């Protein structure tokens, strides 16, 4: 039995989709465990680019089972569009199973997301406005609608009735259009159509996944968002509404922590963040602009320009801790190919003190300024490198320094978006 969790070690967009797709060729099953269509995982394989939000990035491998677990919040329109997009490109989706316990994102969750953000004013989180927070709120309030309700239909109508009653009170107070009469009938008709289309893909996944474990299959868990966006361990409240750390993968599909062998943290060779919230190494200058443009740092889901900064080893060390990481993968190394000098944040200076741990309050974090170490760049193309020894010496030194600062082996390095632009130093399966 080998189970590997792929997890974001920064604020998301680290390249988990590419690495999951690469490793999926060796896995029997790929699983999404939390989050929803706020995630945007880009895969480039055989010259074709795929942007996936909900379907596991293993779907390009016809022999790999793909599971969307109970921990995911599901936008039915997005997942059905994604299925159609894959089919139109000649890909098979017959290996896709979605947990009947997954909660459904409803149109009123989108409205609530938008409304809550507008109320927060300059304290807004900068959400993806995909209804993620409000859907998880209904889940924890024990009034969410699950796929199994939709399939049974009567429970769907009953729960919808309750939820609309509650949401309409809020909408009325907020001066927003209520969902009643014709709008409600339209919503019911829309979901009746989704029900028919999604039915073939819905199943009981807890036994399926545990039986795969017992049969010593190789399981690959595809984390969404990054560890610093975790509801408990991230830069709260500037986080997403699910547990993005490795432990969330267990609850998100219904397996125990003893089933996990390896936790592979994915970190960019620099760092990015979308939305609001602290980002100690952020570059608000020409260098930030340059890296954003070299790295194509614009959100897959929202198209928003990403905030860009230097690699922050305080953040990644903290991530390693809260995830029980065993390995590190550094992505987008090639984006730094043309920089004469590269900085790494080794610690923070906070109220005259040098600290190497993440402070727990945002106020303390706001007081922190990065302590940098500067390394010489390598000023040559790394995109054709396929072995660690092929990398220019300064690029090797950069990776080895990251390894030292984080305290984990860098087992993989990505030097391009294509599946094959990957250097493996230590096999995962
Ligand atoms: P939400 O998940 O849409 O509620 O957004 C909460 C925060 O998480 C915002 O700062 C988003 O920009 C961020 N976020 C959510 N999903 C992703 C992702 O897949 N990549 C990067 N940031 C994300």
* C-alpha–C-alpha distance, residues 97 and 66, integer Å: 6
DSSP-based three-state secondary structure for 357: coil
Boundaries of every domain in the chain: 2-91+205-424, 103-200
Q: Give the closest residue (by CA) to ligand 1 atom 1.
A: 127
The pairing of strands 2-8 and 218-226 is parallel
Would you say the CATH fold of 103-200 matches that of 2-91+205-424?
no
Q: Give the closest residue (by CA) to ligand 1 atom 9.
A: 127
* C-alpha–C-alpha distance, residues 135 and 298, integer Å: 25
* Interior/surface letters 15-24, b for 16+ CB within 10 angstroms, e for the rest: bbbbbbbbbb
Q: Annotated catalytic, 100?
A: no
Q: Give the closest residue (by CA) to ligand 1 atom 11.
A: 127
**Centroid of ligand 1 to alpha carbon of 75 (angstroms):** 15
- 41, 103, 109, 233: the active-site residue: 41
Q: Annotated catalytic, 233?
A: no
Write down the pLDDT at residue 346.
Answer: 98
* C-alpha–C-alpha distance, residues 208 and 277, integer Å: 39
From the alpha carbon of 129, which atom of ligand 1 is closest? 3
**Tokens in use for 379?**
């000023």
Q: Give the closest residue (by CA) to ligand 1 atom 5.
A: 127
**Centroid of ligand 1 to alpha carbon of 43 (angstroms):** 19
Ligand 1 binding residues, C-beta < 6 A: 12-13, 38-40, 125-128, 130, 132-133, 224-225, 229, 238, 240-241, 274-275
**Centroid of ligand 1 to alpha carbon of 37 (angstroms):** 10
Q: Give the closest residue (by CA) to ligand 1 atom 2.
A: 240
265, containing H or E segment: strand 262-268
From the alpha carbon of 40, which atom of ligand 1 is closest? 19
Write down the pLDDT at residue 1.
Answer: 63
* C-alpha–C-alpha distance, residues 102 and 198, integer Å: 12
Number of Cβ within 10 Å of residue 235's Cβ equals 21
Say yes or no: domain 103-200 is CATH 1.10.300.10.
yes
Q: Which residues contact 227 (CB under 8 A, 6 or more apart)?
A: 7, 8, 9, 10, 233, 234, 244, 245, 265, 318, 319, 322, 323
CB 206 within 8 A of CB 253: yes
Sign of CA dihedral 232, 237, 239, 241: positive
Test site for ligand 1: of 10, 52, 229, most ligand atoms within 8 A of the Cβ: 229
* C-alpha–C-alpha distance, residues 348 and 350, integer Å: 6
What is the distance in angstroms between the CA of the first residue and the CA of the last residue of the chain? 9
CB 220 within 8 A of CB 30: yes
- CATH architecture of the domain 2-91+205-424 equals Alpha-Beta Complex (3.90)
Tens of pLDDT, residue by residue, the chain (429 residues) = 689 999 999 999 999 999 999 999 999 999 999 999 998 888 888 888 888 999 998 898 888 999 999 999 999 999 999 999 999 999 999 999 999 999 999 999 999 999 999 999 999 999 999 999 999 999 999 999 999 999 999 999 999 999 999 999 999 999 999 999 999 999 999 999 999 999 999 999 999 999 999 999 999 999 999 999 999 999 999 999 999 999 999 999 999 999 999 999 999 999 999 999 999 999 999 999 999 999 999 987 788 899 999 999 999 999 999 999 999 999 999 999 999 999 999 999 999 999 999 999 999 999 999 999 999 999 999 999 999 999 999 999 999 999 999 999 999 999 999 999 999 999 999
Q: Which residues contact 51 (CB under 8 A, 6 or more apart)?
A: 40, 41, 42, 300
**Centroid of ligand 1 to alpha carbon of 127 (angstroms):** 6
Q: Which of 311, 329, 347 is nearest to 22 (CA)?
A: 329
DSSP-based three-state secondary structure for 245: coil
């Amino acid at each position: 039995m080998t189970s590997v969790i792929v997890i974001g070690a920064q604020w998301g967009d680290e390249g988990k989709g590419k690495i999951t797709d690469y490793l999926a060729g060796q896995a029997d099953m790929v699983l999404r465990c939390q989050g929803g269509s706020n995630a945007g995982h880009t895969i480039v394989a055989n010259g074709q680019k795929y942007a996936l939000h909900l379907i596991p990035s293993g779907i390009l491998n016809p022999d790999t089972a793909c599971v969307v677990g109970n921990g995911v919040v599901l936008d039915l329109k997005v997942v059905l569009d994604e299925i159609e997009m894959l089919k139109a490109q000649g890909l098979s989706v017959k290996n896709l199973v979605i947990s009947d316990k997954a909660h459904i994102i409803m149109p009123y969750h989108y409205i609530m997301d938008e409304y809550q953000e507008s109320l927060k004013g300059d304290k807004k989180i900068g959400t993806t406005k995909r209804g993620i927070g409000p859907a998880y709120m209904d889940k924890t309030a024990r009034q969410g609608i699950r796929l199994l309700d939709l399939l049974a239909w009567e429970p769907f109508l009953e729960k919808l009735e309750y939820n609309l009653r509650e949401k309409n009170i809020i909408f009325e107070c907020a001066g927003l259009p209520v969902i009643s009469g014709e709008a409600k009938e339209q919503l019911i008709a829309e979901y009746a159509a989704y029900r028919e289309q999604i039915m073939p893909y819905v199943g009981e996944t807890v036994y399926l996944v545990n039986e795969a474990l017992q049969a010593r299959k190789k399981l690959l868990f595809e984390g969404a968002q990054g560890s610093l966006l975790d509801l408990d361990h991230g830069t709260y409240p500037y986080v997403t509404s699910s547990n993005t750390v490795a432990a969330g993968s267990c609850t998100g599909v219904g397996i125990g922590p003893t089933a996990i062998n390896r936790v592979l943290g994915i970190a960019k060779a620099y760092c990015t963040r979308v939305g609001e919230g602290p980002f100690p190494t952020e570059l608000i200058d020409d260098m930030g602009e340059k890296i954003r443009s070299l790295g194509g740092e614009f959100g897959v889901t929202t198209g928003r320009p990403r905030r860009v900064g230097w690699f922050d080893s305080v953040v990644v060390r903290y991530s390693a801790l809260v995830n029980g990481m065993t390995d590190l993968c550094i992505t987008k190394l090639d984006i730094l190919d043309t920089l004469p000098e590269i900085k790494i944040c080794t610690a923070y200076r906070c109220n005259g003190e040098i600290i190497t741990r993440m402070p727990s309050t945002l106020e303390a974090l706001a007081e922190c300024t990065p302590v940098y170490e500067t390394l010489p760049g390598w000023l040559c193309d790394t995109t054709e490198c396929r072995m660690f020894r092929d990398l220019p010496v300064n690029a090797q030194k950069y990776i080895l320094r990251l390894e030292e600062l984080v305290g984990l082996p860098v087992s993989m390095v990505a030097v391009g978006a294509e599946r094959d632009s990957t250097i493996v130093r230590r096999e995962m399966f």
